[in-house]
Amino acid sequence: MRQDQADAAGTAVPLPLVQEIDLGPFALHIETWPKYRIGSSLWPSGVLLAKALASGTLSAARCPKTGAQLLPALHDASVLELGAGPGAPGLAAARLGARVALTDYAELVPLMERNIALNQLTGTARAVALDWSAAASSEFAGDDAAPLDLILAADVVYFEEQDPLVDALKLFFEETVQSAGRAASNMAKFVFEQVGGRCKLMQPGDVVRCSEAEIAVAVRKMEAKMRKQQAKERKRQALMEKDLSDWQKIKSFLDLNHFEGVNAAKCSWFGFRKSYPLHTAAKEGNREIVLLLLKFGADRRQKDHHGRVALQYL
């Protein structure tokens, strides 16, 4: 199960953030909900996978032994993205002509649908609710399930139990694995050695042999990097929440004292008396509001009708 489950409890209405992601040959418009849950944010791994798909790096990779193409051509391919969140990799595949199902928890279906619409991909992409623990009852499993050509997933698990994901993958590719057998196993090993051992894709056709010790070191480095990124994201969100709280205090102060902005003057007595928010807060002895006004751009050099700056009233 993904860590999102714990984060979803008690969350407020999502606050959207739309950004343009340049993938080289084309760009995607991606809406995220940064404060909603982990899965509704756009993580670097998703952008990198989308860029690799858009540039053709992955499609060009071939098995060094047989010369066979490692990944299928995306045009008209049936693609499933697991733990899609905003869905950047799946949307990139859809732009390249694939028939894509973006999947994640039901709470994130509206986000996926929003991004499909933003990129005008309603004809080639769709959003589907999928819980890995209930994969057997999904439309992607069973005798009536349409065959899949490719499954995409980027940073879908961290330190959580991985069994539901592994079981879902086995279920979705059961027939493919049975028919491809050893070829599928060799492909998985090749990709793991290139990506897991060196943490990046090499030139098409290159093989990087990695011992278990080298892979373990690479995994530890990736985990440490992820922890650092998560800590940085938590700090950034905490600062954003504090800024919003501080601005609400300033907004209430301005409204209460009938100011239109942090540097807007208020005149009375036919314009002979003039004051500013900073002066009013200083006269009240409200140091917190004084500091917050300065934080949000109040000009400490402004003078009232007595020719005094605000700090002279403290």
Domain match, 197 and 293 both: no
Per-residue pLDDT for 202 more than 70? Answer: no
* Interatomic CA distance for residues 283 and 5, integer angstroms: 49
Q: What CATH number is given to the structural domain containing 234?
A: 1.25.40
Per-residue pLDDT for 59 more than 90? Answer: no
Query: What pLDDT is attached to residue 183?
Result: 40
What residues pair up with 102 in beta bridges, in sequence order? 81, 127
Q: Say if 65 falls within a structural domain.
A: yes
Domain match, 293 and 184 both: no
Taking phi over 0 as left and psi of -120 to 50 as alpha, with beta for the rest, 83 belongs to left
- For residue 21, the enclosing domain spans 4-210
Per-residue pLDDT for 193 more than 80? Answer: no
Domain count along the chain: 2
Report the percentage of the chain scoring pLDDT > 90. Answer: 34
Per-residue pLDDT for 138 more than 80? Answer: yes
Domain match, 68 and 153 both: yes
Domain match, 122 and 18 both: yes
**What's the average model confidence in pLDDT over 74-95?**
94
pLDDT band at 180 (very low <50, low <70, confident <90, very high): very low
Do 132 and 160 meet the contact criterion of CB atoms below 8 Å apart?
A: no
Length of the chain: 314
Domain match, 260 and 300 both: yes
Among 30-34, 82-86, 189-193, 224-228, the least confident range: 189-193
Per-residue pLDDT for 33 more than 50? Answer: yes
pTM for this predicted structure: 0.55
Q: For the segment 104-116, what is each residue's pLDDT rounded down to a tens digit?
A: 999 999 999 999 9
Domain match, 77 and 197 both: yes
Per-residue pLDDT for 181 more than 90? Answer: no
Q: Say if 225 falls within a structural domain.
A: no
| Angle at 91 (CA atoms; ends 90, 93), nearest 5 degrees | 65
Domain match, 236 and 189 both: no
Q: What CATH number is given to the structural domain containing 133?
A: 3.40.50.150
Query: What pLDDT is attached to residue 152?
Result: 93
Query: What pLDDT is attached to residue 178?
Result: 44
Domain match, 85 and 150 both: yes
Domain match, 183 and 126 both: yes
Q: Say if 222 falls within a structural domain.
A: no
Per-residue pLDDT for 10 more than 50? Answer: no
Domain match, 34 and 132 both: yes
Among 60-64, 86-90, 277-281, the least confident range: 60-64
**What's the average model confidence in pLDDT over 235-248?**
84
pLDDT band at 188 (very low <50, low <70, confident <90, very high): very low
Domain match, 108 and 199 both: yes
Question: Which long-range contacts (C-beta less than 8 Å, at least 24 apart) are formed by 109-116?
Answer: 111/14, 111/31, 111/32, 111/33, 111/40, 111/85, 111/86, 111/87, 112/84, 112/85, 112/86, 112/87, 114/16, 114/31, 115/28, 115/29, 115/30, 115/31, 115/86, 115/87, 115/91, 116/87, 116/91
Q: Say if 223 falls within a structural domain.
A: no
**What's the average model confidence in pLDDT over 124-143?**
91
pLDDT band at 9 (very low <50, low <70, confident <90, very high): very low
**What's the average model confidence in pLDDT over 113-124?**
96
Mean pLDDT for all residues in the chain: 79
Q: Say if 218 falls within a structural domain.
A: no
Q: For the segment 245-256, what is each residue's pLDDT rounded down to a tens digit?
A: 888 899 999 999
Q: Say if 216 falls within a structural domain.
A: no
Q: Say if 286 falls within a structural domain.
A: yes
pLDDT band at 50 (very low <50, low <70, confident <90, very high): very high
Helix (H) or strand (E) holding 137: none
Dihedrals phi, psi of 187, to nearest 5 degrees: -60, -45
Tokens of 17: 């953030």
Domain match, 100 and 148 both: yes
Per-residue pLDDT for 52 more than 70? Answer: yes
Query: What pLDDT is attached to residue 37?
Result: 85
Q: Say if 178 falls within a structural domain.
A: yes
